[in-house]
Chains A and B, each alone.
Chain A
Amino acid sequence: MSVESIPYTVEPRPDTGVNNVKVGIWLFLSSEVMLFGALFASYILLRHGAPTWPHGSEYLNIPLATVNTFVLIASSVTMVMAWASLMKRDTRQYRIYMGLTILAGLIFLGIKYVEYSEKFHHGLAPRTNTFLAIYFTMTGLHALHVFGGTVVNTYLLGPGMKLWERNQAQFTNRVENAGLFWHLVDLIWIFLFPILYLL
């Protein structure tokens, strides 16, 4: 017989104090920080080198983006509440909060769609100038992350919930880690909003 199962998938390793997935998700988040960090750095370099740089309000819809900012922050709160509900073993409440989180993600993407189509309608595309190029690239990549997070959350509300029956601790961990990702996506937007729209 040989050793088969991988240890510390759910329970924390005593000397490190965390389980494998927690280490993994933080490493993943650190790489995401580097990904967006490079884009933020590119933004600074391009703006610094440009003779003129438009104010966000010349092209962008600040009220809509403000609503979006609140939607995303609210979704982070509901995400934490969803996890907290699982800690209390209240699946009914979990479903409500997770549903709200997904709804917020969809509202965010919907508003983003309205913003994008408004731009295209006025003939404003990434190729128009460097400001719009970096705007579309950064918010586009961010929107992909929101979409990815929403897919994961939907899975955790739907078929992924079967795991709750078998292993409550593992399912709670999954929701927690999905939440960590969701908070990062939220955090990135909190940086994107001022630099693109307000500054």
Chain B
Amino acid sequence: MESLGHSSHSDSQSFLWKYVFSTDHKVIGIQYTITSLLFLLFGFTLMMLLRWQLAYPGSPLPLGWLLGEGRMPGGVMLPEFYNELGAMHGTIMVFLGIVPLSVGGFGNYVLPLQIGAPDMAFPRLNMASYWVYFLGGVVMLVSFFLPGGAANSGWTSYPPLADIATTGQTAWLIGIILLATSSLFGAINFITTIIQLRAPGLSFMRLPFFVWAQFVTAFLLLLAFPPLEAAAFLQIMDRVAGTSFFLPTGLVVSGQVVDVAGGGSPVLWQHLFWFLAHPEVYVLILPALGITAEIIANNTRKPLWGYRALVYSALFIGFMSFVVWAHHMFLTGMGTAIAAFFQATTMIISIPSVVILTALFLSLWGASIRFTTPMLFCLAFLPMFGIGGLTGLPLGLATTDIYLHDTYYVIGHFHYIVAPGTIFALFAGIYYWFPKVTGRMMNERLGKIHFWTSLVFMNGVFFPMLIQGMAGVSRRLYDGGTSYLHAQDVLYLNVVMSISAWGLGLAQIPFIYNFFASIKKGVAVDRNPWRATTLEWLAPSPPPHGNFEALPTVYRAPYEYSVPGMEADFLPQHKPGPDRATEPVPKPTQEQPAET
């Protein structure tokens, strides 16, 4: 009764309530997607700016003076501004770009549809999650205009430096607390929705892998973010109330002993930070793996190879990701016994990652692959993520990490995971679900231009980093290594990387144009243009408030493609009929009626 009254009311909703303060998971998903895409572009722009200084240290950037005397006097970048760009690039890309896009955007939009739910379990909490995220983003942006600029102590905000840094750092901490709160709201909502709102017949082992990925991700966000929140509280206390949680006794800054009580531990911050930030790595990658699994199954027209292995691996990754954090800290002087422990757990966690990647590769075996744009991005994702993962192994071993720590090798390693890895998967997801959101396809030709140029330039940016890093070039050098003898042989790569980065920027233009133009001019399609099996394709495109015309019932596993004896090469989850998994149907009898 109440719901009927609600629906008649929702028709007359004003623009503000329908599109701005909406509680509909689809509107919130779109809000998250648009906002985080803008942040991705902004964070990328910071890096394109920074790469000028790295390629041509000390030379004025044309029109660079427009950014002001405090940042680029005469177009030459100040070291302080360089530090701001570095710290804020990392922060924005991770906390305001990729996570909100993969979880807030894709998770919000797709997950309730895939489990056959009318909305998230807590729609108002969902809205709060977006607006707290938005506020966190605003705080981060405004911090650029504080005296001393934005945070400039790296995205990891290591004390003691971060404790004594300019005001921007306090804004950074407040921003992080807001973003953590937003993630918390989202995580509670996602887990509850998956547990409680699955459609009848949709058992856990029938969930699409994307839902599993979001499920594990939500647990990581739920349990890993609060320690960072605690750490942020402690650092705020250090900066505002004058405590010494992270300041050791007798700290000397600029030749003077700092007037604090001391007795704190800078390493404590690193523990708290990485206790979040390592699970965060899997927050960045799991939804991407989920998207990839969906698209690979759809475009190979086969069930995923090893669905159960994928699910158990994702769960195992989720668990293990809480006990590997100190592999970021091999150089803090921890004992060899502890280093050995974290080294062992790190090697163990690589196993499920390899299982997932192998299962996805094997899914391609013997398939007649449809090379659609989303599939191209996913096919590139696999080897790119592979490079990212394999280059991580030497970093997980304490012996080799001592040499590679804080070099460009580290930067190359994790960018291979998140940039041509996760971001490619996110692009794939946008191309794949765009027709569900708008009812129209994105242009395939522009998509392929976007893909091939991005692929080339991505590698142009990140592969040289691995080479520079192995030559020993440190990751935070203002002059890109110009003043270091050991960097001279690999210095020319700075120009290669910068030009690739700017090329990568240009390569996004076809995407941006395609994205907006296709909303109005894309080819209109029916509700299941990819001939997919999962529930989101049962709903109209775009799905109305409440998503489905009638509550769907699920009869089988998520990826029943090319089932022998069926006339179509896909068997949707919602189509009544036997489930091959639990009640194997004898093939001959199944094939007979299909042939007649």
A interface list, Cβ under 8 A from B: 1-9, 13, 16, 18-20, 23-24, 27-28, 30-32, 34-39, 41-42, 45-46, 49-50, 125-130, 133-134, 136-137, 141
Contacts and interface: CB of A to CB of B under 8 A. Distances in A.
Contact of A46 (B184, B188, B196, B265): B265
B121 A4 contact: no
26 contacts: A3-B547, A4-B3, A4-B6, A4-B545, A6-B118, A7-B118, A18-B196, A19-B196, A20-B121, A20-B192, A23-B195, A24-B121, A24-B189, A31-B222, A35-B229, A37-B226, A37-B227, A38-B275, A42-B245, A45-B265, A45-B268, A46-B263, A125-B241, A126-B241, A130-B263, A137-B243
Contacts of B264: 46, 130
Contacts of A20: 121-122, 192, 196-197
B338 interface: no
A28 B125 CA distance: 12
B245 A130 contact: yes
Given A2-B546, A46-B268, A130-B264, A23 B231 contact: no
A34 B227 contact: yes
B550 interface: yes
Given A6-B197, A134-B245, 19 more contacts: A1-B549, A2-B548, A3-B549, A4-B4, A6-B117, A7-B118, A20-B192, A23-B191, A23-B192, A24-B125, A31-B188, A34-B227, A39-B230, A39-B233, A45-B265, A50-B263, A127-B243, A127-B260, A133-B241
Q: Is the interface of A mostly helix, strand, loop or mixed?
A: helix
Given A4-B3, A27-B192, A37-B227, A126 B237 contact: yes
Contacts of A37: 226-227
Interface string B211-253: 0000000000011111101110110010001111100000000
Interface of B: 2-4, 6-7, 117-123, 125, 184, 187-189, 191-192, 195-197, 222-227, 229-231, 233-234, 237, 241-245, 260-261, 263-265, 268, 271-272, 275, 544-551
A16 B122 CA distance: 17
Q: Is the interface of B mostly helix, strand, loop or mixed?
A: helix
B123 A6 contact: yes
Contacts of B271: 41, 45
B237 A3 contact: no
A35 B196 contact: no
A182 B227 CA distance: 21
Contacts of A2: 118, 544-549
A129 B548 contact: no
A126 B187 CA distance: 33
